[in-house]
A = this chain, B = another copy of it.
Amino acid sequence: MIIESVDLFYVRMPEVLDIGDGSQDGLVFRVRAGGFEGFGEAVASPLTSIASWIAPMSHSGCHPVIDSVLGSKLDSPADIQAIADRVRAQSFYGIIQSDLTFSGIEIALWDLLGRAKEQPIYELLGYRSSEKKLPYASVLFGDSPAETLEKARSMRTRGFSAIKFGWGPFGRGSVEQDAEHIFAAREGIGSDGHLMIDAGTVFGDDVDAAALRLKALSEAKVKWYEEPVSAAAISLYKNLSLRTPKVPLAGGEGAHNRYQAEHLIDQGGVEYIQIDTGYIGGIGPAYKVAQHAVKQGVQFVNHTFTSHSALAASMHPFAGLKEFWLAEYPMEPKALCAEMNKNKIEIQSDGMIQVPERPGLGIDFDTETIKKYLVEIEIKDSGKVLYKTPTI
């Protein structure tokens, strides 16, 4: 097959709020080849990634992503790797947004290939089965500890034994206020539940401020403390991992290539590596990080806060690995992401989830949803239209 077309669709809620909720817009890619279609999403500022797709070449190392994709051969996973290598070689300097942009395309390539071969992506990766994972509910902290308590109780009532709280007021007030939120979350979940805390890089470079929260986190027996500092600050992760009381660290959603994730494992001292296939360059690099995590004895977990197609894309890379038994499960997506797909990864009667045993991603996009939330973009260079929102 030859890649005939790649279309980019910027979708957005009518109103986008200034809160830590990444499900308010999206960038969907549709790839066509050999009579088949594949879809994927990038976790990226849509307009910025659209620009990186069609930006005029600056030099041999700063091509737009389109130059490495259209017209390429697509018959095997090796062909996807060859396209990824070409993107790196042609877009490695000055157009770093291309890492995110290509993530969505790469997922669509796997989806298309799986549909053409009538195989789930996890099989194309060499896994024999889609193993069950325990879904953890990923929610924002309440505005007050009372609200956090209420949210935790409600999630527990809905059947979740593993819940992650993040963002919102955490790290923006006092150490005591954060402790109140942490203990409220623990109380709501109960002593037997898995509790995770996501700081959303709120402490930036301030590793001491991040460390001041360790005491409460330890007392509340949290499973992990996620992204306390800037994603790139691997040395600060290491620093924090050696402090007392010791609390396991998690991170990796900010890795936009596999090396950053592998260094976070090898040098940063994290015990949980969280990868978003829509960010790290797609399913290929996420799979490599999962294999690296096996070797290093670190837990691999998906990062997903949006749609069920994104959830599937982030689960395939570790679908066949029994030892990685936890999966982030988006609980509060905005209507855009809730309506994005025709089918879902439902929680089964035993409380577990698994990637569908269906061709490609195993999750179908609803083109009516894309049409409903579609944003009209036009980019012109010297009067010539470089990009105009295509029809879906």
20 A-B interface contacts by CB (under 8 A)? A16-B56, A16-B57, A19-B60, A25-B58, A43-B93, A45-B58, A47-B55, A47-B381, A51-B379, A92-B201, A94-B279, A96-B256, A97-B97, A232-B259, A234-B259, A234-B263, A263-B263, A376-B383, A377-B379, A378-B380
Q: Of the candidates B17, B20, B51, which one forms a contact with A50 in the assembled complex, judged by CB atoms under 8 Å apart?
A: B51
Q: Is A380 within 8 A of B377, CB to CB? A: yes
Q: Is there a chain B Cβ closer than 8 Å to A242's Cβ?
A: no
Q: Is the interface of A mostly helix, strand, loop or mixed?
A: loop
A262 to B230 alpha-carbon distance, docked (Å): 14
Which residues of B have CB within 8 Å of A383? 376
A21 to B61 alpha-carbon distance, docked (Å): 9
- CB of A138, distance to nearest CB on chain B (Å): 14
Hey, what's the 0/1 contact readout for A361-378 against B, CB within 8 Å counting as 1?
Answer: 000000000000001111
Q: Is there a chain B Cβ closer than 8 Å to A233's Cβ?
A: yes
A380 to B380 alpha-carbon distance, docked (Å): 9
Q: Is A48 within 8 A of B95, CB to CB? A: yes
Looking at A93, A233, A380, the one whose CB has the most chain B CB atoms below 10 A away is: A93
A interface residues, how many (CB within 8 angstroms): 72
Copies in the complex: 2
Q: Is there a chain B Cβ closer than 8 Å to A382's Cβ?
A: yes
Given contacts A88-B204, A233-B259, A378-B378, 19 further A-B contacts (CB under 8 A): A22-B93, A43-B93, A45-B64, A46-B58, A47-B379, A47-B381, A51-B51, A51-B379, A92-B201, A92-B230, A92-B254, A93-B254, A94-B100, A94-B279, A96-B97, A96-B256, A267-B267, A377-B379, A377-B381
Q: Of the candidates B12, B46, B204, B382, which one forms a contact with A375 in the assembled complex, judged by CB atoms under 8 Å apart?
A: B382
A45 to B50 alpha-carbon distance, docked (Å): 13
Question: What 10 A-B pairs come out closest when comparing CB atoms?
Answer: A51-B51, A45-B95, A47-B55, A97-B97, A232-B259, A378-B380, A48-B51, A48-B52, A45-B55, A48-B55
Q: Of the candidates B20, B64, B254, B381, which one forms a contact with A60 in the assembled complex, judged by CB atoms under 8 Å apart?
A: B20
Q: Is there a chain B Cβ closer than 8 Å to A44's Cβ?
A: yes
